[in-house]
């Protein structure tokens, strides 16, 4: 390429001397091969500025966040420290419940206002309460009636006011209940999620956000001794935590993935919280194993966020100190899986 004609069009360096950062960006975007004279890049940049080319504001196809909020949420480390909310005392009987605030953050990323979230492993309602905080509709399935009772009581006794879950008695005044109190009206149905999901129409759900059991052997001699919490499982054989072993658990997750894929709208997300395990002397990367199983069903594994809930961090336990490395697993994985657009 000859430099002479470009020099004739843009003879003065001062005209474009302040465009250096822009020219570099444009040069990269236009994939100029190495060796194209700098003046050519500057000429293009000046034309862009003079003709007033502005990038079109991009439509947000997934959520209601700004670009900056979206970017913030893509960090693979997710540290939270929420104070116990008003429903905590009731929910903590469960042992593996999630803070509604963290679920609300996930739901705000993967849905828009008014869309519908499904949680097939609803427990005492962390996801459903999070959906209420975020202004989304939600539906939950839970196999253990004890947990559905706890959630139903929360529904009767609490509401969302000013972005917080508050006890109804505390917000009533002499003039009666506050008009801006939003009821917790997401239903939670008792039953096996595999059966209940089969009753939902194809492509009817905007997002699935759930926290399934983390494999099997959640009892006092296994899971409790190894990781951060003990979940109070039912004895129902259909409960995923009662799978015979790890391969059987992954098989169930595969079946769940097939139903999830069917009921999700194309291009939308299945987000699962899954903790890793340490069993029989070895680390079990359960999160990645579950994600890989779901890839087999057709989901894209888009990534994960490593969630560290500082609020429930217990002191580190001295496993095999001075003998061999055993991790204190203080994180949970938030797995992000997407049903592809055109399938
Ligand atoms: C980790 S807990 C979810 C806790 C929930 N995120 C919360 O905040 O309360 C997993 C739940 O899945 C439920 N579960 C296990 N197998 C199930 C099945 N087949 N159908 C429906 N629920 C099931 C368990 O009873 C348990 O409450």
**Of the candidates 305, 281, 308, the residue with the CA atom closest to the CA atom of residue 291:** 305
Q: Is residue 76 part of a domain?
A: yes
Report the CATH number at residue 298: 3.40.50.150
Residues 256 and 334 in one domain: yes
Do 120 and 141 meet the contact criterion of CB atoms below 8 Å apart? Answer: yes
Q: Distance, CA 167 to ligand 1 centroid (Å)?
A: 25
Which residue owns the Cα nearest ligand 1 atom 27? 123
For ligand 1, pick from 100, 105, 122 the residue to mutate: most ligand atoms within 8 Å of CB: 122
Residues with CB under 6 A from ligand 1: 94, 96-98, 120-121, 123-127, 141-144, 147, 192-194, 211-213, 231, 234, 238-241
Residues 237 and 265 in one domain: yes
Q: Is residue 125 part of a domain?
A: yes
- Residue-level pLDDT at 5: 44
DSSP bridge partners of 297: none
Q: Distance, CA 241 to ligand 1 centroid (Å)?
A: 9
Residues 270 and 233 in one domain: yes
Do 1 and 36 meet the contact criterion of CB atoms below 8 Å apart? Answer: yes
Residues 135 and 39 in one domain: no
Query: pLDDT tens, 286-340?
Result: 999 999 999 999 999 999 999 999 998 889 989 999 999 999 999 999 999 999 9
Residues 119 and 39 in one domain: no
Residues 29 and 109 in one domain: no
Residues 180 and 40 in one domain: no
Q: Is residue 58 part of a domain?
A: no
Pair of tokens at residue 261: 């894929």
Q: Distance, CA 106 to ligand 1 centroid (Å)?
A: 18
Residues 12 and 96 in one domain: no
Per run of 10 residues, the mean pLDDT along the chain (length 343 residues) is 42 47 50 54 59 72 97 97 95 93 98 98 98 98 97 97 92 70 96 98 98 80 49 84 94 98 98 93 95 98 97 89 93 97 76
Q: Are strands 264-274 and 282-284 parallel, antiparallel or unpaired?
A: unpaired
Which residue owns the Cα nearest ligand 1 atom 13? 121
Q: Is residue 276 part of a domain?
A: yes
Contacts of 264 (CB under 8 A, 6+ apart): 203, 205, 207, 208, 270, 339
- Residue-level pLDDT at 57: 76
Count: domains in the chain: 2
- Residue-level pLDDT at 314: 84
Q: Distance, CA 253 to ligand 1 centroid (Å)?
A: 13
Q: Distance, CA 173 to ligand 1 centroid (Å)?
A: 37
Q: State which residues form the domain around 75.
A: 67-338
Residues 149 and 35 in one domain: no
Residues 84 and 195 in one domain: yes
């Amino acid at each position: 390429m000859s430099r002479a004609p470009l020099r004739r069009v843009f003879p003065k360096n001062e005209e474009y001397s302040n465009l250096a950062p822009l020219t570099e960006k444009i040069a990269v975007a236009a994939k100029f091969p190495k060796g194209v004279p700098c003046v050519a890049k500057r000429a293009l940049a000046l034309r862009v500025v003079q003709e007033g080319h502005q990038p079109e504001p991009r439509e947000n196809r997934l959520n209601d966040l700004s670009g900056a909020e979206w970017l913030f949420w893509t960090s693979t480390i997710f540290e939270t420290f929420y104070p116990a909310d008003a429903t905590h005392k009731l929910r903590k009987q469960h042992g593996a419940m999630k803070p509604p605030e963290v679920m609300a953050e996930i739901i705000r990323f993967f849905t828009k206002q008014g869309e519908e979230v499904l949680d097939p492993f609803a427990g005492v309602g962390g996801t459903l309460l999070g959906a209420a905080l975020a202004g989304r509709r939600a539906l939950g399935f839970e196999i253990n009636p004890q947990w559905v009772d706890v959630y139903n009581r929360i529904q009767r006794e609490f509401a969302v006011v000013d972005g917080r879950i508050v006890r109804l008695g505390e917000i009533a005044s002499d003039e009666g209940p506050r008009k801006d109190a939003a009821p917790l009206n997401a239903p939670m149905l008792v039953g096996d999620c595999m059966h209940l999901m089969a009753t939902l129409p194809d492509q009817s759900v905007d997002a699935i956000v759930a926290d399934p059991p983390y494999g099997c052997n959640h009892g006092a001699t296994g899971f409790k001794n190894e990781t951060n919490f003990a979940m109070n499982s039912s004895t129902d054989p259909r409960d995923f935590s009662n799978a015979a072993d790890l391969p059987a658990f992954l098989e169930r997750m595969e079946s769940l993935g097939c139903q999830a894929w069917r009921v999700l709208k194309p291009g939308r997300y299945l987000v699962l919280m899954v903790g890793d395990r340490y069993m029989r002397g070895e680390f079990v990367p359960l999160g990645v194993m579950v994600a890989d199983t779901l890839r087999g069903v057709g989901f894209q594994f888009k990534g994960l966020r490593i969630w560290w809930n500082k609020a429930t961090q217990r002191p580190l336990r001295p496993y095999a100190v001075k003998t061999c490395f055993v991790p204190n697993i203080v994180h949970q994985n938030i797995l992000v899986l997407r049903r592809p657009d055109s399938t």
